[in-house]
Amino acid sequence: AQKITQTQPGMFVQEKEAVTLDCTYDTSDQSYGLFWYKQPSSGEMIFLIYQGSYDEQNATEGRYSLNFQKARKSANLVISASQLGDSAMYFCAMREALRRDTDKLIFGTGTRLQVFP
Amino acid sequence: SAVISQKPSRDICQRGTSLTIQCQVDSQVTMMFWYRQQPGQSLTLIATANQGSEATYESGFVIDKFPISRPNLTFSTLTVSNMSPEDSSIYLCSVEQGQGPYNEQFFGPGTRLTVL
């Protein structure tokens, strides 16, 4: 079963507008973490934001916020005031326990965001 | 956050040859991870590398094809052996930083490999 689902292969947004990128997840763990990464065309993976399963407040980092709805198992990324430089692939990821001494990130298939003037 | 560098940044290789990718971190880390991203795809974990022990490989990846070294807490190498065009991918190393269950995870800039 797919653990992380990103249903939007591509999104368009006009500069200065807000955009929401969807992410749903599936886990039976009580303790887990959710991540969003940005991957520009250069290929590097840029960490954006993190949400822990026990965090009561939604995570925010500058123009990025994570709309965490635990009961619905969703962790949508909201980018406010979009900029042309936000055009990139965006990946949602979840950390679940792999072994007692470590864990691994499981990635969604990504959403390609294009910001137009 | 950890600063991670990888060498080479990209390479074009012939079928049947091998390439070793280096990953250097600016701080000591316990766990290092190697991921593969095939063209147009998401990231897949190849293996987890602890210093001083054998790497642990994910299903579908074997040590003979992807040998890994982890000689110290700041460095690791991944070798892609006997390459075929199907190995053309971006290879990324990654490290965890933090305490407890809420470790952040950072990635290197990646190595873009093309196999002809």
Collect all residues with Cβ–Cβ distance below 8 Å to A57 and sequence separation of at least 6. none
Higher-pLDDT residue of A70, A1? A70
DSSP state letter for B99: S
Hey, is B81 helix, strand or coil? coil
For A71, phi and psi rounded to 5 degrees? -65, -35
Q: pLDDT grade, residue B76 (50/70/90)?
A: very high
Q: What is the pLDDT of residue A12?
A: 96
The two three-digit tokens of residue A26, written as one number:
């599936």
Do B104 and A47 lie within an 8 Å CB cutoff? yes
For residue A105, the chain B residue with the least C-alpha distance is B45
pLDDT tens digit sequence for B5-49: 999 999 999 999 999 999 999 999 888 999 999 998 999 999 999
For B86, phi and psi rounded to 5 degrees? -65, -15
pLDDT, average across residues B82-108: 86
User: Is residue A69 scored above 80 in pLDDT?
Assistant: yes
Q: What is the pLDDT of residue A98?
A: 55
Interface test with B, best of A41, A100, A105 (most B CBs within 10 A): A105
User: Is residue A39 scored above 70 in pLDDT?
Assistant: yes
Q: What percent of chain A has pLDDT over 90?
A: 74
Collect all residues with Cβ–Cβ distance below 8 Å to A103 and sequence separation of at least 6. A95, A96, A97
Name the residue facing B102 among A43, A46, A52 (closest C-beta). Answer: A52
Do A47 and B109 lie within an 8 Å CB cutoff? no
Which one of B40-54, B64-78, B100-114 scores highest in mean pLDDT? B64-78
pLDDT tens digit sequence for A7-34: 999 999 999 999 999 999 998 888 888 9
Mean pLDDT of chain B: 92
**How far apart (Å, rounded) are the C-alpha atoms in residues B63 and B56?**
9
Q: What is the pLDDT of residue A101?
A: 54
Name the residue facing B42 among A33, A43, A110 (closest C-beta). Answer: A110
Q: pLDDT grade, residue A95 (50/70/90)?
A: confident
Hey, is B101 helix, strand or coil? coil
pLDDT, average across residues B44-60: 89
Cis peptide before A117 (omega within 30 of 0): no
CB-CB contact of A24 with A5 (8 Å): yes
Do B101 and A35 lie within an 8 Å CB cutoff? no
CB-CB contact of A73 with A5 (8 Å): no
Residue type, A2: Q
Name the residue facing A44 among B41, B101, B110 (closest C-beta). Answer: B110
pLDDT, average across residues B91-103: 78
- State how far Cα A78 lies from the chain centre: 9
